[in-house]
Amino acid sequence: KLTSITIPSSVKSIGGSAFWLCPELNSIVVEPDNKDYDSRGNSNAIIKTSDNMLMVVCRNTVIPNSVTSIATCAFSGFEGLTSIAIPNSVKKIGNSAFRNCSGLTSMDIPDSVTTIGENAFSGCSSLVSVSLSNSLTSIDNSLFRGCSNLKSVVIPNKVNTIGYLAFEGCSSLTSMDIPDSVTDIGHHAFSGCSSLVSVSLSNSLTSIENSLFQGCSNLKSVVIPNTVKTIG
């Protein structure tokens, strides 16, 4: 039932997930003379001043243009979150940053973002569409695991790795086009994608990992490139 937080100037350290799962939280203020943290621009957030990291958020948080990273689990568990604008200043989204945000319906990730941590969007069961940053080089482990309403994802052309369980349980995903930049796809990456009908695999793959398409009960065609040497 916590609704507001005021951080005094004396606070020098705030631990990870310090105010996690406080769904009624709607106001966050850091006193202006705090040297380590701030809530700049009426952001309704706690930002670590030294590295511009967004650490603690609430349902009224607006991410300022000066933030460069979103901390681990920052928005995790905010079921009422339906949308959030990520500014072009953000370069990194931490592990589990939006995990289990079951009300989130869409996400537009700007090209400034070069890293998205594992589980960042896992359990976002209402997520229908995602626009990924063209600067990404990997789709991390379990990134969209359990996003059961996700219908389409475009894999950027710089991505070389798709982690294990990356799209596991994405039961509304109907097709997947994997660019030739991808050299490695982890085990169970598409397991449980029961609506998946067709897959275009990267011509740079050398192996099909264990249980890659386990439970893909509607999969009608997969073209395995000549570069593949092993099937798990």
| Beta-strand runs (E) in 88-197 | 92-93, 106-108, 115-116, 129-131, 138-139, 152-153, 161-162, 175-177, 184-185
Measured CA distances, 63 to 90, 103, 139, 149, 231 (Å): 9, 18, 23, 26, 44
Task: Report the pLDDT averaged over residues 143-164.
Answer: 96
* Averaged pLDDT, 150-162: 95
Q: How many CB atoms lie within 10 A of CB 107?
A: 20
Q: Residue 78's pLDDT band (boundaries 50, 70, 90)?
A: confident
DSSP E strand boundaries for the chain: 4-7, 27-30, 37-38, 46-48, 53-56, 69-70, 92-93, 106-108, 115-116, 129-131, 138-139, 152-153, 161-162, 175-177, 184-185, 198-200, 207-208, 221-223, 230-231
Residue 80 has pLDDT above 90, yes or no: no
Residue 94: C-alpha distances to residues 148, 149, 157 (Å): 22, 23, 22
pLDDT of residue 152: 87
Task: Give the model confidence (pLDDT) of 120-145 as tens digits.
Answer: 999 999 999 999 999 999 999 999 99
Q: What phi and psi, each to the nearest 5 degrees, are found at residue 81?
A: -70, 120
Query: Over 90: is that where the pLDDT of 67 sits?
Result: yes
Q: At 21, is the pLDDT very low, low, confident or very high (cuts 50, 70, 90)?
A: confident
Q: Which residues of 163-181 are buried (b: 16+ CB within 10 A; e: fewer)?
A: bbbbbbbbbbbeebebbeb
Looking at residue 44, its pLDDT comes to 96
pLDDT score for 216:
97
Residue in 92, 163, 76, 170 with CA at minimum distance from that of residue 129: 170
Q: What is the pLDDT of residue 20?
A: 84
Query: Among residues of the chain, what percentage have pLDDT more than 90?
Result: 90
Instruction: Look at the block and give the residue holding tokens 């059961």.
Output: 148
> Which pLDDT value is given to residue 16?
79
For position 23, what pLDDT does the model report?
A: 84
CA distance 205 to 218: 23
